[in-house]
Copies of this chain bind each other. A is one copy, B any other.
Amino acid sequence: MEQRSESFRWPIRIYIEDTDAGGIVYHARYLHFMERARTEWVRSRGVALRSGLEENVSYVVQKMSIHFRQPARLDDEVWATADLVDSGRVWLGFRQQIIRQSDGVLLTEADVRVACIALDSGRPRAMPEAMQAIVQAKTE
């Protein structure tokens, strides 16, 4: 996959907390990094998650297909990217990558489907208007 020039990207530093006894980043941590990038992307467009929770709106990962190509290591700086590539009334489809900053090497890539749910019932619900506006602006 070519990296698109317009990808949203967020810088992340690898700390000792992210590593494991194999000397590399623990695989589940990349999911954290990707969620940070998605969070910062919506924040950069004016939507904060906490106000969502207060209005009974939450977002949950529904499906994920992920390829761990090469490991990140302690002290590395990486980019976590987030591109909205598809969406429906109640879900968002992201294409995401983890890229090592020093040499641009692709470490991890994933397709992630996030669903909008009602916090109390856990059931899918239409995204709030502010989020719909973001999605429309992106995919038009």
Question: Which positions in A face B, CB cutoff 8 Å?
Answer: 13, 15-17, 19-24, 26-29, 31-32, 35-36, 39, 43, 48-50, 53, 58, 60-68, 70-71, 73-75, 119, 122
Q: What's the minimum C-beta distance from A132 to chain B, rounded to whole angstroms? A: 20
What are 14 A-B contacts with C-beta separation under 8 Å?
A15-B35, A16-B20, A17-B20, A17-B36, A21-B24, A21-B74, A22-B119, A24-B122, A27-B31, A28-B31, A28-B35, A60-B71, A65-B66, A66-B66
Summarize A's interface: helix, strand, loop or mixed.
mixed
Contacts of A66 in B (CB 8 A): 63-66
Separation in Å of the A39 CB from the closest CB of chain B? 6
